[in-house]
Structures are given as structure tokens and as C-alpha cells.
Amino acid sequence: METVKYRTVSINVYPVTIKGRECWRFDVIENGKRKYLTRSTLAAAKKEALNRAQATFRGGADLSKLKEEEVESVQRLLKLGLTRSLVNDIIAWHDKKFSKILMGVAMDEFLDAKKVTQGDSRENVKTLTSHLKLLDPLRKKMLNAISVKDLKGQFRPNHQPRTRNNIAGSWRTFFNWCENAEYLPHGEKTAAERIEKSIVPVEVPTTYTPKELKIILSNAADDFLAWAALAAFAGIRTAEVYPLPNSDKIPLDWSDFKWEQGVIKIKPRTSKVRKGRTVPINAALKSWLEPIKKDSGRVGDLTMPSSGENPETKRLGSLIGGWKSNALRHSFISNRGAQIGLALTAREAGNSEAQCARYYDDAKTEKEAAEWFAVTR
């Protein structure tokens, strides 16, 4: 018997007689089973045994049988200096790339983590939850197997370009969290990041005429008059007067009106963008609010009249040919912009100048603006 050694691996080669002829044999383990290999000469047996010993030492890989592209890959690694640290990094990357976590498990962990750290961002968590709900059909797929096609298949036919972009943004937030949680490899674009952005057409904002505004304010129920006047003459958002149910937002309060100074102080936790601002109380706004103002208390009740399906806005809309969603704020920004420019208007409305220019400004003239702010009680 002779022993063939390669590093820490030893294989014994021993003689056997088969049909009266002397041969040489050794055994190896393949797929958990013992296998006997026989060669006619000692030299041939020792050569094959050496190959098997080398393969065993390398983890079962026979480098002599590598494909051309695999050999090239190994050579590139060798040029980098194939250290144990580098190998460990590659293995760690591989484990993340092919991690065994279900999409649904990762989604639940993500939302639980967001709820713990939400602070005053409950509305954001609610939006993330709603957008991730669209991915429920993918819950049983492995996270690393989710493709761009899988994600795009969850958009609904009625999702408009801006809505699609907002949803994709929530998905990107989730996939980025998965990367930070070591569920996905770092430095690679996630499936969500590879979703191309939808082109959002720039539309002329819907506005009201001064005549339509007069009809709305003159016929608005007491509960909604302040909301309508504030949107039309101060650009106050609906959510700043009527926060969403269970929101941690502070609704606009009558104590926020500084009548002597002629301004409204919007608190950071009242503002949609969490940044306080000061809004002038112009003559038109004052004329509509003064008869109904209070020293303190919520300006609006718990009902949000933002949709045309709301009984009050539906009733008011019937008087002017139909309610136009968010058109009161649109009208304010467009008309106020004609008076003082979009930069200053953006500050009053709590937006950026770029946003005002893109989504709200329909280039009203100074004459049109004067007519708008002349609508008094």
C-alpha cells in the first residue's frame, strides 16, 4: 500500500487482483457514499488519487475541470490577492445575495421597526403600510428573488404617474432598509431602485373664479366657512385644519391667530412639512373670519371636507358646476404669486418655490389677483 498526500488530505492506494491481473485501487466519498476507483498501474492510480486529494482539500472543487470563464474569474481574484479576508467578504456577500428570508417576513419586520421609531411620523408609517400592502401577493417569495417585473406587476391600472412614483418611493425605502438590515448585499441597485420613474405631465392647476369663490363662501356651512376662507386667502392645507384620524398632528387653533399682528402662526406640528411658518391675515380673510372667530379651540371639526363626495363640498359644488379638489389652495398660490412672486408665496404656503412653480402657478395677472383678494363678506 502507498499513501498519496496533499496538504492535510491523505489517500491510501492499495493493490488488488481482478480477473488474475494486479490493479491498484483507492476509495473516495462522493455525495455521502463510498466509491472505489481502480487503475491498471500504480502511477495512474497515484495521479488520480492526487487529483482527488487536491479536490477534497479545496472543498470538493476540481480546478482542472473549471470552465474558461471560471478560470478567468479565479485569475482575477488571484491578482487582487486572494486572502482569507477577501474570501470571507465574498462569502458574506453571497449569503446576503441569496439570503433565505421571505418577502413577507422582511416587510413585517420593516413596518414593526418603523412603528417603534415613528415618533411624530405616524402619517408616514401609514403611507408606507398602505404602499407595502400592494406587495402582499409577493409575501411568500424569497426577498432576494424579487425582480423589477414582480414589483411593477403590483401597480394597479388606475395608478396615475405621480401615484406610481410615490408608491415606488415607499418600496425603495423598504428595500434600502433590507440592505441596511443585511438582508440584501450592499452596493447593488435593489429591484425597487431599478423601477424607472413615470413621467408626470405638468398640468395647469384647477382654480376657481372670483365669482365662484363668492358663491362658495357665501353659502358654506358655519363648520366649513373658516376652512374654505383659509384655503382661498392663506393657502392653509386641508390637513392642517383637519388632521387625519389618529394623527399626531396638532390642528390649527384659533389661538394661533395673532389679530393684533395681522398674522397666523402655523406650528411645526400643524404644518404638513413639519416646519412652522407665518401667514398674513389679509383684508379678505379677515372679513370672512372676524364674525366667527374665537379666542381658542380647533378651527375645524373632525370631518375632512377634501373630497367632492363630502356632503358639504358636494352641495357647494352643485352651486358652481362641480367641486374642484384642492382648487382653493391652487387659486391662492396662483393669485398670490401674481402679487408678490412665487418665492414669497411659497413661504406663506409652506412649499418650495420649485413646487409652486411646477404644480400650482397658472400665471394669473395682477388684475386677476386683485379681483380674487377683493372677494370680501
Mean pLDDT per 10-residue interval, the chain, length 377 residues = 83 89 87 82 91 73 67 76 73 63 93 79 84 96 92 94 94 94 84 92 84 96 90 93 80 95 94 90 96 91 58 90 91 93 92 80 88 96
Question: How many other C-beta atoms can be found within 10 angstroms of the C-beta atom of residue 361?
Answer: 22
- Whole-prediction pTM value? 0.59
Q: Do residues 34 and 91 share a domain?
A: no
How far is the first Cα of the chain from the last one, in angstroms, to the nearest whole number? 112
Contacts with 246 (C-beta within 8 Å, 6 or more apart), sequence order: 122
Q: Do residues 71 and 59 share a domain?
A: no
Q: Do residues 294 and 315 share a domain?
A: yes
Q: Give the Cα-Cα-Cα angle 135, 139, 144 (nearest 5 degrees).
A: 95
Contacts with 336 (C-beta within 8 Å, 6 or more apart), sequence order: 235, 345, 348, 349, 369
Contacts with 6 (C-beta within 8 Å, 6 or more apart), sequence order: 50, 53, 54, 56, 57
DSSP for residue 143: G
Q: Which of 340, 225, 260 is nearest to 349 (CA)?
A: 340
CATH number at residue 285: 1.10.443.10
What is the domain count for the chain? Answer: 4
Say if 325 falls within a structural domain.
yes
Query: Which structural domain, as residue segments, surrounds residue 83?
Result: 67-97
